[in-house]
Structure 1
């Protein structure tokens, strides 16, 4: 399956070509997001669940019937006690996709939180974000306020694979951390 958006293509290649990807967690999905990939994953038998902080977006995902939806923030998802069971989510997923969300956390929150998120990713964690400063796209969503300015180098020094992109006229990048050895035939670094 081919996508014009390089970030979407990367996730598609990882999720559809790697036989280990059976359960995907998608963190954050706005109504403007293209759901073609998520529908393709479901068609291939991959289960998809969502964590969405903004109630109107969570309602939108529920109406589309794309998968289980937990209305909570990423902070709640990683909280103690573990909220997964009460929200119908397993404690671990094969692939976690955090689409344009890391910049909504302060760096003081983000860096200590990432190892805990990696622990929940059985195979890989994929995060997509603008490179540097970029105005927020949906100012009505209070969870979409950009609190940090992130660059690829900050992830490279933490042993992430980094793939730069141009997405909707913004420079952005994807940071990938494999928690199990990656299948080289799936996604070149």
Structure 2
């Protein structure tokens, strides 16, 4: 019996170490504004699927913390706020779900496909945090996809007002901005 208790205690101590001495009281995530219904199978012919690759992110977003863009050259992090995963992974998943709902096409995660990824959507998530000067949650994403014999790229930006610089205010605003940016990308993908 003491061995069983020692293992969970060790796991909790390891988790606490990840967050600088204390685990956060809650972790934040993104949720799509619309989701595909359950039990609605889809199929795609050769080359007809879309594969969404998790966006690359700058060093400031290679963390579960929420950046506060104090100036063009200074970034801080919002106190007591942590994502459940890296924001690039969260946004990639949200983007895939949004494209599937908005376009009706089969959308695959880059880790899912085995032979035929179809159209690959790649990109970079440049900003995903709080702009305190304008008190807005901001999401900036550059998307790239093949079109015809070449490739096309486009920048998408969404901003949502934030009442105060707290996790309770910033997280829902970032979720809304992420959904707006994902809907812009889905409209662009669907139009091509």
Q: TM class, shorter-chain normalised?
A: under 0.3
- When Rg is computed on C-alpha atoms for both structures, the one with the higher figure is 2
Relative to the length of structure 2, the TM-score reads 0.26
